[in-house]
Chain A
Amino acid sequence: MKNIILTIGFFVMSVLSQTVQADDRILDIQSHTSPAGIEFWHVEDRTLPILTMHFAFRGAGSLNDPDDMIGLGQLISNTMDEGAADRDSQAFQKALEDHAIDLSFNSTRDHFTGKIKTIKRHADLAFELLRDAVQQPRFDEEAINRMRNANISRIKSSQARANWMASRLMNDAYYGDHPYARNSGGTISGLEAVTAEAMRDFVKSKFGRNNLVLATAGDMSADEAAAIIDQVFSKLPQNSDLKDISAVSPPAQPLQKAYKMDSPQSVVQMAWPAFAKTDDDYHALRVLNHILGGGGFSSLLMDEVREQQGLTYGIYSHPVHMDYADYMVIESATAPESVAPMVQSVQDILTRLTQDNVTDQQLSEAKSYLIGSLPLRFSSTLSLSGAALRMQLDGREITALDDFASHINAVTAEDVKRVAGRIFRNINPTVKIVTGAVPANIDYDMVQSIPGIE
């Protein structure tokens, strides 16, 4: 609540003049197959002369990074738009920049993703650039070194922030031996070891038509989108070669770790294992999270810890869902002497949620927020293709958004209590992390250096 840096959800379309659509759909997502046989989801929206595309290579995320090249995926994502085909880095970047084309790639833990936004007038150039980046990235030594340096610089500057350090420590503690434990942004030595050859091999072996997931949106027909998709992706190899990954086993015994920094505040993160988006209790989990700490000022955590006690500027809960791990996080920052009372307040709230039903008012307000705010997430053209991609990655039906309200409405107070019990049965978090100022007499395992950085 300050300054003008804001992220706000947006919205979209329910009445459009040029498309025929069912009145009861939240988002008119249609499934199509291109002439070359590539499946994609499309949301036609003629409001503005803007086109967007989101895509992912499923399973090609940074969990594929070799042990001695942690950061390979990250460096590929940064360098793919630094020169392709006959355009070198500066020519490629300038073509994007001068035509207001937003193109970016991202290596998440699970997937390698990309997105592009262009005004219609520059669409031909935009998709030519995307095609070249996907099919013929140059990975010139000069560009790789620049991106390597920028990443190492980012890692060094992030080390000054206690919340970034807490996340590194949390990942290491929670994921243990699993590849998720590694920093998807890379380590300094891993980034230094990455070679152009490894980058080319990765692209060749991990990007296939069989793991490509696609969504388009904006001022184009499905046929136009299909033609663009074939132009960009049809020449990819059919198959990709991905590692077999097992599910994360959370630590068997609770872990408490602390790392001391020169700071007036303690950052606190707590995690409990949860369950997948495909679980029958998923919608009850959404309701529970809203009531607990996902609902802004009116959540139980914010009301108790911030509004009533003034211990923190913010305290939030949110579920984390990935392909091989699902857990619930509660995080905050407070004065070191307030860590113990804050954790106590959190545990009191969690205990109440596992023992007592939430009130009718809490339940109905949470439901009306979750249902009413759904369309607000789909405002910009990019948010349309982004949602259509996410749904496919999550294995959702194309009608999932339309069915969301009935699933949420079916959640009862007993469901919320049962789910609270499933997650918070053990009131002690599976992993508890404190970084920054460390309270006196704390019985945490004191860590001397944070893993996943060097």
Chain B
Amino acid sequence: MLSTSTQAQEAESTPQKIYDAKSITLPNAMQVVVVENPRTPAVTHMVWYRVGAADEAIGHSGLAHYLEHLMFKGSKLVPDGDFSQKVKSWGGNDNAFTSWDFTAYFQTVPKDKLQNVMLMEADRMQHLIFTDEEALTERDVIIQERRQRTDSNPSAQLSEAMRAALFTNHPYGRPIIGWDQELQLLTPQSARDFYKKYYAPQNAILVVSGDVDAKDVFEMAANIYGKIDNGGAAMRSEWPSVPEIYGTVNIHHEHSNAKQTLWRKLYRVPSIGQNYNDAMALTIAAEIIGGNTGKLYERFVIEDQVASTTSFYYGGINVDDTTVSIGVTPKDNIDVAQLPDMVEGVLTSLIEGEGITDEDVQQAVSKLIDESVYERDSLTGPAMMLGYQLATGLTLDQAETWIHDLNEVDVEDVKGVIEKYLLPESQNYHALTGMLTPED
């Protein structure tokens, strides 16, 4: 019989869970997670595969995303490729997305159609069908997608180049959409091989959120996904490591379409799965430094008036290393060459004296915890956020409660991670800058 993991773990001292999800693991190793939300008679059904662009072989960039497109071309149950048409005809919506760490497929439908979408999704996990001709036409589509997303967008081109340099030798340095010259060479067979190698229950997580009873979903999933054989699917291989960055790297793009200068800095830092405590402190640091009430905006835009916009992000949820990114739109009279020192000056001032206070930290923590209430204010949101965290290696318990661990972060922790990762004296500092300027 199936057992639910959450019931056993509900101790009195457990902090409030964000999603209050229930979970089982099927005998074929596929995890099933359910968020009950009776607000509306609808359901979101998502399957997350723990395979993505970072798992492509060298020379095959874009393959994971290409396969994601081909998953809509047909399967035994839906031979004519009208998967989306069927979902639409029930009043639902569906789509899919690919990241470095995962590929996910989702449908939002009236709740009485849950079994229909589950049958179709399970079918394309096992019996994907597409012709070479269809696949070659779809390759033209993703080439156009690259032109639209990246090649027509100078700032996207800069991001792509900066990431490639920051993650030298690591698959995170490849664009998810793929390099243009490699996209042209992807073959229908390479997509089939990738599919056969990785798409299987042991690499998949099912997340269902909506007006359902978890027990019913577990039973349905056991009957549908539980019948699928793993067939010896491959687990992800270990990714290569990133070498040190020597010297000062600045990537400078000029573009005739650019009408103003953009400046960016990208740091390679640990994710939540790699260094939990530092990730908690970086999350608070980003809250204090970023945003329009943050320290960077306060200094650059309000006090010194050297920039018209600033940004500071930390994307903590990732399988391998992740990034802190800083963006600045300098005012016209500012010499961009001075920005690296100016940013370093702000960060250095934060780790000194009262640069960051207890109050700063407490307010950041209470804001993030308050905001977690909004996580449940939707049907698809919980499935999206929970699946994202599980597919990148968090346990369900961690996903439910990590927000409360922010309470453990103090001022010294926040100053500590700024010094450790964002300032150049540290051996853990891995960073480069980039800028986009108008053509002379």
Instruction: Name A residues whose Cβ lies closer than 8 Å to a Cβ of B.
Output: 1-4, 6, 8-15, 45, 47-50, 90, 93-94, 97-100, 117, 119, 121-122, 142, 146, 149-150, 152-153, 156-157, 159-162, 261-265, 295-298, 306-314, 333-335, 364-365, 368-376, 378-382, 436
Contacts and interface: CB of A to CB of B under 8 A. Distances in A.
Interface stretch (B9-17, B152-160, B218-226): B152-160
Given A122-B370, A313-B145, A368-B91, A11 B152 contact: no
Contact of B257 (A122, A146, A262, A380): A262
B40 A14 contact: yes
B69 interface: yes
B293 A94 contact: yes
B302 interface: yes
Contact of B88 (A48, A161, A264, A295): A295
Interface string B51-69: 0000000000000010011
A117 B374 CA distance: 10
Given A8-B378, A50-B374, A307-B137, 13 more contacts: A1-B68, A6-B95, A10-B378, A11-B379, A50-B373, A153-B260, A298-B84, A313-B145, A333-B148, A372-B91, A375-B42, A380-B377, A382-B377
Given A2-B98, A308-B137, A12 B40 contact: yes
* Most chain B beta-carbon contacts within 10 A, residue among A2, A296, A310: A2
Given A99-B367, A263-B152, A333 B144 contact: yes
Nearest to B134: A307
B147 interface: yes
A12 B37 CA distance: 10
A369 B86 CA distance: 10
Contacts of B72: 297
Contacts of B176: 2-3
B141 A306 contact: yes
Contact of A262 (B141, B255, B381): B255
Interface in B98-135: 98-99, 108, 110
A20 B177 CA distance: 50
A10 B209 CA distance: 12
B151 interface: yes
B262 interface: yes
B266 to A, nearest CB: 17
24 contacts: A4-B99, A4-B384, A8-B380, A9-B93, A10-B40, A11-B40, A12-B40, A14-B41, A97-B293, A117-B374, A161-B152, A262-B255, A264-B147, A264-B152, A265-B152, A298-B88, A307-B81, A310-B140, A313-B144, A333-B147, A334-B144, A365-B85, A368-B89, A370-B91
B65 A2 contact: yes
Contact of B331 (A50, A149, A297): A149
Nearest to B331: A149
A405 B309 CA distance: 46
